[in-house]
Amino acid sequence: MPASDLVSRSALAVVDLLTRGEVTPLDCLEALESRIGLVDKDVNALPTVDFDRARRAAKATMARPPAERGALKGLPVAIKDLTDVAGMRTTYGSPIFADHVPEASDPLVERLESESGVIYAKTNTPEFGAGANTFNEVFGATVNPWNTAMSAAGSSGGSAVALATGTAWLAHGSDLGGSLRNPASFCGIVGMRPSPGRVACLPGVPLDRQLSVQGPMARNVEDCAFFLDCLSGEDIRDPVSLPKPETSYLGLTRSGWKPKRIAFSADLGITPVDPEVAEICRKAALRFAEAGAIVEEAHPDFTGAHDAFNVLRAKNFAISKKALLDAKRDLLKPEVIWNIEKGLALTMEDHVRAETRRAELYRNTLDFFEDHDILCTPATIVPPFPVGNRYVESCNGVKFDNYVHWLAIAYAITLVSCPAISLPCGFTKSGLPVGLQIVARPRGDARALAAAKTLEEVLALDTTKPILPRKG
């Protein structure tokens, strides 16, 4: 089978070919290696590849009887460069770790490999995932394949670009303030922030943090659901991890469940939005009516979300990165230093205020979902911006007071522990993708996926086939 034909197929279609023995894991790796050679020089999505390691894993999978191969059947999977893969260069996007090769893998990598996933590449990320634009001092910038003069967003920008350009069928991402959803929106692919604990990982410190989660990225909703099945499950090393559900997420996505009452909000009452993006997302959300849903404009009360998120984010940076600030300050980028120092300056009064407000926001959200099945918003408030801009400084006449404020429409959802999916929903007049954020109640991952599948079928956008990078 020609490499171009294989890379254009969905992950589930390739797994089916692997199951039937029509292709092998080695065929898949050969197709990816060819595609990477063709396109990655123009986008820089996969700065680290290890096909020797991958071929050893592929051969080990092929040596097992078909019935003993895991769900992935030897399908290659790309891992974000914030997550350890044993024996594979893992830099976290930082010069401090430019030559770091972990001895052990993160639990989520172990789980994927137990399902016969073949790890072949690390996807680019900003330093320690800080900043929604994928660039770092180790590998440089990852650019948007729809217009290579534009940003791919971040911090899972490399994963999104690899999917969009056909150098991955499935790619892992992580998300704190939109790090998975923003790149999905900018690159025209599907990205899911699952409920906290749904994907077990090595949590580090603080041990019980729930703002940052790991999640699946794919080219369509069913592939995303399948990947979540492969990623999910309990692990004693992660104290907030959840058991694998009895029914698969792919099965629940295909169940035929449809939302009956949809809320749409362009801004959640807390952020400016680019008017073109708002209109594209509103029109897409209204099309849920074609599947029998009532669609109305509404949202939970998110008053105080900015302050709560800023405090909790800064606290996490201070706890997890203070030692690096003390030892390697000169090698850290300004945004990382800013986050750590903000955290170190917090008072107990700041902590009390943020935690109290977050609890209130959570209760508001639970009440809201008593009357609504799904909440829809823009996944990102702007279309892709020039890659040379470190972040979005203003939107629709409003100037932001820090480098994360423009991410509020995503981090508000983070604060209330809801699963959320960025689904391609249209294009700007200049041809750049826009994503709709589809949010379900806490632990309503299956509902979010089923609703996204419903709208994906209604919209019928041609975004599932990989594209060649387009010069700006």
Query: Known catalytic residues?
Result: 80, 155, 179
CA distance 418 to 373: 12
37-48 in b/e burial notation, b at 16+ Cβ within 10 A?
ebbbebbbbbbb
Say how far apart CA 144 and CA 183 lie, in whole Å: 9
β-pairing, 48-49 vs 398-399, is: unpaired
Tokens at 126, concatenated = 């900003």
Q: Is 425 helix (H, G, I), strand (E, B) or coil?
A: strand
Cα separation, 398 vs 394, in Å, equals 5
Buried b / exposed e along 381-402 (16+ C-beta atoms within 10 A):
bbbbbebeebbbeebeeeebee
- C-alpha 226/C-alpha 68 separation (Å) is 18
Q: Give the integer Cα–Cα distance in Å for 113 and 302.
A: 40
For the chain, the residue count is 472
Q: What stretches of 198-242 show up as alpha helix (H) in DSSP?
A: 221-231
Cα 15 from Cα 434, distance rounded (Å)? 29
- Take residue 316 and report the two structure tokens written for it: 């996490």
Question: Is residue 374 within 8 Å of residue 420, measured between CB atoms?
Answer: no
Both tokens of 95, joined, read 């010069």
What type of residue is 184? A
- Taking alpha carbons only, the member of 111, 317, 299 closest to residue 212 is 317
